[in-house]
Structure 1
Amino acid sequence: MPVYTVHAPSPGGADLRATDKFVFVRDGFHFWAMIFGPLWLAWNRLWLALIGWIVFLAAFDAALHSLGLGRSSIFFANCIVALLMGFEASSLRRWTLSRGRWRQLDVVVADDEDTAERRFFERWSKSQRGIVNDQWAVDRGGPPPTRSVPGQPFSNPPIPAGGIIGLFPEPGGSSR
């Protein structure tokens, strides 16, 4: 099963309002990055990696040509570089995101990106409950507050003037 890393922009923070900006990067071999290396880098807007790839490949080809290798050997060496590009494409994307001050939030194992998003957001929304103004958030880690435990919110309830709580008078009081 593929493994996805989840990245969020650091300046905006990771909250429920920034979920459309989250990026899921699949780990593993990228076939199109191997076949169309510079186009794949440009498509994913990995500009610094694209410049580095062009400079490296030009210097690599010049060094191999200066060593007196034939065209077929240089082509075979370029195929190995393209294969390396396919294996390291996701690492280049994660590196570029980390340079842009994105932070890695989680690692998700799923069959495809949609399933990875669903699994991540199910797990992440449970951990984010109560951080954003969520009226339904309830801390289920402890017992509910009771009237007989000192220090609990219900231990000393405020009693309004006249001794009436709600619509009913106190027992033994006048009912007009």
Structure 2
Amino acid sequence: MPAYTVHAPSPGGADLRATDKFVFVRDGFHFWAMIFGPFWLAWHRLWLALIGWVIVVAAVHAGLSSIGVGRGSILLADIVIALLMGFEASTLRRWTFSRGKWRQLDVVIADDEDTAERRFFERWSQKQRGIVNDQWAVDRGGPPPTRNMPGQQFSNPPPLPAGGIIGLFPEPGGSR
């Protein structure tokens, strides 16, 4: 099963409403990064890695050509660089996130990204319940809210209006 690392932007803090900015990076070999290396780097906005890739490929080509190596050997060097790109693609993404002041929150083992998200948010929301008092989060699987729970906006009943009861019967037990 693949492992996913979860990254979040640091300036946002531990706010439950910023979860749409979390990024899940799959660890392992990336086939499309091997086949379309520079396009994959540009798609994921890994600009410094893209510049490094261009410099390395140009240096390898120039170096091998200057010593008189044949085209077959240069092709073999390109295949090795492509394989390295496929193996190190997720490391380059993590490196870019760490440079951009992102923090790694967790590592999740799952079959696919959707399952990884579900597992991560189940664990993370349980940890955050005690830390963050989030008025917008609703636990759909829990019991209905009750009164006198600290931190809940619906814990205290609303105050009665100045005139008493509002409705068809302004006085309890009164006639129509």
- Same-fold status (TM-score > 0.5): yes
Report the secondary structure of 1:7's partner residue: strand
- Quick check: 1:47 aligned with 2:75? no
Matches within 5 A, 1:18-29: 18-29=18-29
- Check whether the contact 1:8–1:14 (CA below 8 A) recurs between aligned residues: no
TM-score normalised by L of structure 1:
0.75
- Check whether the contact 1:46–1:93 (CA below 8 A) recurs between aligned residues: yes
Paired positions, count = 137
1:134 shift after superposition: 4.2
CA distance, structure 2, for counterparts of residue 107 and residue 15 of structure 1: 19
C-alpha deviations, 1:87-108, integer Å up to 9, x for none?
0000000000000000000000
Report the secondary structure of 1:129's partner residue: helix
- Check whether the contact 2:16–2:134 (CA below 8 A) recurs between aligned residues: no
Unaligned runs of 5+ in 2: 140-176
TM-score normalised by L of structure 2:
0.75
Paired position in structure 2 for 1:173: none
Which aligned segments of 4 or more residues in structure 1 are displaced greater than 6 angstroms? none
Of all paired residues, the percent bearing the same amino acid is 80
CA distance, structure 2, for counterparts of residue 31 and residue 9 of structure 1: 27
Report the secondary structure of 1:111's partner residue: coil
Two-structure CA RMSD over aligned residues (Å) = 1.5
Q: Counterpart amino acid of 1:10?
A: S
Report the secondary structure of 2:18's partner residue: helix
Paired position in structure 1 for 2:13: 13
Unaligned runs of 5+ in 1: 138-176
Paired position in structure 2 for 1:107: 107
CA distance, structure 1, for counterparts of residue 86 and residue 111 of structure 2: 20
CA distance, structure 2, for counterparts of residue 114 and residue 89 of structure 1: 20
1:14 shift after superposition: 2.8
1:40 shift after superposition: 0.1
Structure number, greater radius of gyration: 1
